[in-house]
Structure 1
Amino acid sequence: MPVTQSLNSRRGAGNSGGELTEPPPARLAHMPARDKLERLLRVAQGHHKALILTHDNPDPDSLAAAVALAHLLEHKAGMEAHVGYGGIIGRAENIAFVKVLRLPVSHVSTLDLDEYDFFGLVDTQPKVGNHSLPAKKEAHLVVDHHPLRQESLEAPFADVGGDFGATSTMLVEYLRAARLEPSVEVATGLFYGIKADTRDLGRETTPTDVDSYLWLFPRMDKTLLAQIEHPELPARYFQLYHTAYERAKVYGTAIVTDLEEVYSPDMVAEVAERLMFLEGMKWSLAFGTYRNQLFLSLRVKDRRMNAGRLIREICEDYGGSSGGHGSMAGARLLNADGTIQNCTFRPMSLAGQLFDLVFLPRPLHFLKAMAIDPAQYGHDEARVNWVLGACIVVREEALAEVGLLDEQLSPLGNTEDTDWCVRAWKAGWEVAFCPEAVITHLTSRSFRPSDTGADKVRIELWRTRLAYFRKHHGRLHEAAMRAILVGTLPYNSAVLTQTLLRGRMRLPEYRKQLATFLGISQMGLRARV
């Protein structure tokens, strides 16, 4: 059961569960910014590629702080750094925030976590359960302005709690200590992050928040800020508020509303925040369902009450966590001889396409297997990037939201299943592998390659992959994919010729394969996608 907690309760007294409201005085949060920066850079030393994760269904404070941290690591630690998030970005302001500022953030489903050797959590903490860092991955750094939870101290670097009203304020402190000027987009993002999380410096604001706000003001773009704060709103936004007001009930100084089904989880928190403006209210509780999960948001004005701890204590028996509900489940596929057929895959990458297209020496065959998700060999359900479409089951509501298969990627049944799974992840759904369901899949029955001439099915496969990279990654990846399709022809032709001359291939097969590679290369030059 996903829950959100009130930021008003950040300094509540008392201690319950893993939360530390009175942490040891010597902890990292109380160090000067310059000392914390030095410690951070020492922890990052020796690592090469970082993934910074926000909490699921991220808000502007989380997104801005994560982008700023990635910026800091790239310029001061010499690391390649990416920002990822789980869930969805649903509110109109949040969508505009990412779009207008062109923030370099990616849904975690499009990332291969095995490529990273350094992980950070921003505006969340390891055991809270509202982020997409797998349990088997350890966070190297945690930066969060919410109350410290004991488990966070296990991270090599944990700057948690402290006297801040927003995590964006903490990142401004790091940038200033590093003497690193943010870009206009990052500055605007951090400014809006502080503005939104402190309710225009009117909620739980500290002198450091105000100082950071004023430092950012001349560096940010007011025009961009206006586009973020005043986006066009969908009709369902007003329908949701109609439901909220119609179903709201007042109990003394508390107001409660049942939103029923919501179109975005973060709307629950927005409604709870809005209802606090009703005269005389000290408590506001909003709840609604999203894809068969219950979301709660509690806001309080009484600083003696720790709303976050209270809502966890109420919901802990229900296994509170976050993340979408499964949209598609794929079965285990077997070949005719009973061996396992590849059916679960990692994110499609350019490197993977190169390894798949060229002839590799036997010692390097393991590179082809890197695209396979090892979940297919296990006996447990698993969330995977995409599954083979030979045997799948899809939720009706997921199909209605994500849409049907893209016919531009499936004239011969090739990349349309990959595309659909990626679209489902981006829409906030999950894709699962279900090993209990087992079928024997007889391959190459629908589309048999011709006995002579180029293999048109294989050429079409590569055309749909080219279209996939253009659709999901843009023109630069499309151009790189075309370079792979064309540039590998000389090498593959040389390997084929060598195989023929050594007597390991008959002439008809040689001609057929050479024609296929030539067709793939010509398609890479001419195909319009």
Structure 2
Amino acid sequence: MSTAVELQELLTDGEEINIVCHDNPDPDCLASALALGRIAADAGIDERHILYSGTITHQQNRAFVNLLDIDIQSFDPAAVEDRPADSLLAFVDHSIPGENNQVSPGTPVDIVIDHHPAEEVEARFVDRREELGAAATILAEYVRALDIEVDSTLATALMIAIRSDTIDFLRGATRAEYEAAGFLQEDVDEEMIRQISSPSVSGATLDAISTAIDNRMTRGAILISHVGRTSERDSLPQAVDYLARLEGVQTAIVFGIVEDTIHVSARSPDPRVHVGNLLRDAFEDVGSGGGHHDVAGGQIPLGIFADYTTDDEQLLDIVERVITDRLSVELNISEDEET
């Protein structure tokens, strides 16, 4: 029995499905959720919900949701933790309750479809392929195998997701990504792709990137910087993508405070550095972190710095020192290496 058919058979057991995105979902997560919803509809599930926590602030992500008119709802813990037996819970583009999502740890999960490294993933159905460049690749494979109708919205969403997570097939793309793109190409809306790929940039994002440029610290081929406090969480990956292009830099890490959480974003084409493991090891005792060897992110609740919240400038100084010190220990660099 094929993996796609196994999924289809599991879906026939349900009357409802709650597809939970990870916090602050990106195109890969959103498109995968959309595709799983279409597969669930084909299997006879009428009640389908795509749920998310956090915010959608990245300009491309907002354009993705608005222009493709994706129906997403704010996550309600009661909807998944007190669900009836015929209500299915699915994760796409993430794997474990409580890690990069607001589902309580230990909550039973029915379906997991992911391409990120993870340990001890438990669900009735698990398809996790670390070798792939995007979760959307797996969903495109299912859609094709199950002969699900592909309209321009679904094809465009999956294509953008694959392109986004592989940086236009320049990072982590495998033969499966090219095959999925070939399958989807006939039905994509090229004009929609152009609009979503070139959204306007907010002033807050530009300010955050500028701050990261000013605060950059390089030690050999490693760059660490911060954006201070920002309202635009997704300015961090945009800032680190920009700084990673600096000549001589092989590993770039940018952090910043968004509301009551410290967010960290990392990039590294250096095969000697696995930034997913680096962020996990650096922050697992105070928050969470992880990802691929070249792209990763982390979150640390600001509660550990609660004693310093009365003075924001002091808070920023403390956060900068603590986060930088933790990263320096994991990267095995010292202050006298700073340039």
TM-score, scaled to structure 2: 0.80
Cα pair distance change 1:323/1:249, threshold 3 Å: closer
**2:164 is equivalent to residue 196 of structure 1:** yes
Larger Rg: 1
Q: Percent identity?
A: 28
Is 1:305 equivalent to 2:273 in the alignment?
yes
User: Which consecutive unaligned segments of at least 5 residues does structure 2 have?
Assistant: 290-298, 304-339
Residue type of the partner of 1:156?
Answer: R
Number of the residue aligned with 2:287? 319
Given the superposition, is the C-alpha separation of residues 87 and 305 from structure 1 closer, same or farther in structure 2, using an over 3 Å criterion? same
Task: State the match for 2:191 in structure 1.
Answer: 223
Select the residue among 63, 80, 91 that pairs with 1:96. Answer: 63
Residue from 86, 104, 129 that aligns with 1:134: 104
How many angstroms apart in 2 are the aligned matches of 1:259 and 1:243?
Answer: 5
Residue 105 (structure 1) shift: 1.2
Partner of 2:75: 108
Tell me by how many angstroms 1:306 deviates.
2.3
**Paired position in structure 2 for 1:416:** none
Equivalent position SS for 2:2:
helix
Change (3 A) 1:303 1:79: farther
Deviations 1:62-114 (A, max 9, x none): 11111111111111354532111110001111111100000111111498334
Does structure 2 retain, via aligned residues, the 8 Å contact 1:291–1:324?
A: no
Deviation at 1:245, TM superposition (A): 1.1
Offset, 1:181: 2.5
The answer on 1:124 being equivalent to 2:91 is no
Q: Tell me, in whole angstroms, the C-alpha distance in 2 between the residues paired with 1:306 and 1:77.
A: 42
Shift of 1:224: 1.1
Partner of 1:186: 154
The structure-2 alpha-carbon separation of the partners of 1:110 and 1:235, relative to structure 1 and needing over 3 Å to count, comes to: farther
SS at match of 1:238: helix
Superposed counterparts of 1:130-169, under 5 Å:
130-135=100-105, 137-150=107-120, 152=121, 154-169=122-137
Aligned to 1:53: 20
Partner AA of 2:12 in structure 1: Q
Trace 1:287-302 onto structure 2 (pairs within 5 A).
287-302=255-270
Q: CA deviation at 1:45?
A: 3.2
SS for the counterpart of 2:167 is: coil
In structure 1, the residue matched to 2:317 is none
Identify which of 52, 61, 69 aligns with 2:36.
Answer: 69
Report if aligned partners of 2:137, 2:180 keep a CA contact under 8 Å in 1. yes
- Runs of 4 or more consecutive aligned structure 1 residues displaced over 6 Å after TM superposition: 323-326
Following superposition, the deviation at residue 205 of structure 1 comes to 0.9
Work out which of the residue numbers 126, 140, 145 in structure 2 matches 1:177: 145
1:87 touches 1:324 (CA, 8 Å); kept in 2? no
Give deviations 1:141-193, integer Å, cap 9, x for gaps: 1000112422x1x2111111243100111110110110113221111111111
Q: Distance in 2 between matches of 1:316 and 1:323?
A: 9
Partner deviation per Cα, 1:112-157 (whole Å, 9 max, x = no partner): 334561100111111561012233631101000112422x1x2111
Corresponding position of 2:220: 252
Spell out, residue by residue over 1:206-257, the C-alpha distance to the aligned partner (whole angstroms, 9 max, x if none).
0111111222222110111122112222221211111111111222111111
String of CA shifts for 1:308-352, please: whole Å, max 9, x gaps: 1221111011133869989xxxxxxxxxxxxxxxxxxxxxxxxxx
Mapped partners of 1:261, 1:315: distance in 2: 19
Counterpart-to-counterpart distance in 2, 1:72 and 1:61: 16
Paired with 1:75 and 1:147, the residues of 2 have a C-alpha distance of 30
Q: Does 1:86 align with 2:53?
A: yes
- Provide the C-alpha distance between the structure 2 equivalents of 1:192 and 1:233, rounded to a whole number of angstroms: 18
In the TM superposition, what is the alpha-carbon distance from 1:274 to its structure 2 partner?
2.3
Q: Separation in 2 of the partners of 1:325 and 1:276?
A: 26
2:205 aligned to which of 237, 246, 255: 237
Alpha-carbon distance between aligned partners in 1 of 2:8 and 2:248, rounded to the nearest angstrom:
48
Equivalent residue runs for 1:320-399 within 5 Å: 320=288
User: Residue type of the partner of 2:175?
Assistant: P
The alignment's C-alpha RMSD in Å is 2.2
1:250-289 map, 5 Å: 250-289=218-257
The number of residue pairs the alignment matches comes to 291
What amino acid sits opposite 2:52 in the alignment? Y
Preserved contact between residue 144 and residue 161 of structure 1 (Cα < 8 Å):
yes
Letter of the 1:134 counterpart? S
For the 8 Å contact 2:134–2:162, the answer to whether it is kept is: yes
The whole-number CA distance in structure 2 between the counterparts of 1:79 and 1:164 is 31
Q: In structure 2, what residue type is equivalent to 1:94?
A: N
Matched letter for residue 59 of structure 2 = A
**1:83–1:111 Cα change, 3 Å:** farther
Residue pair 2:283, 2:300 contacting (<8 A) in 1 also: no
Q: Are 2:12 and 2:44, in contact at CA under 8 Å, matched by a contact in 1?
A: yes
Distance 1:78 1:293 in 2: 37
Task: Report the equivalent of 2:4.
Answer: 37
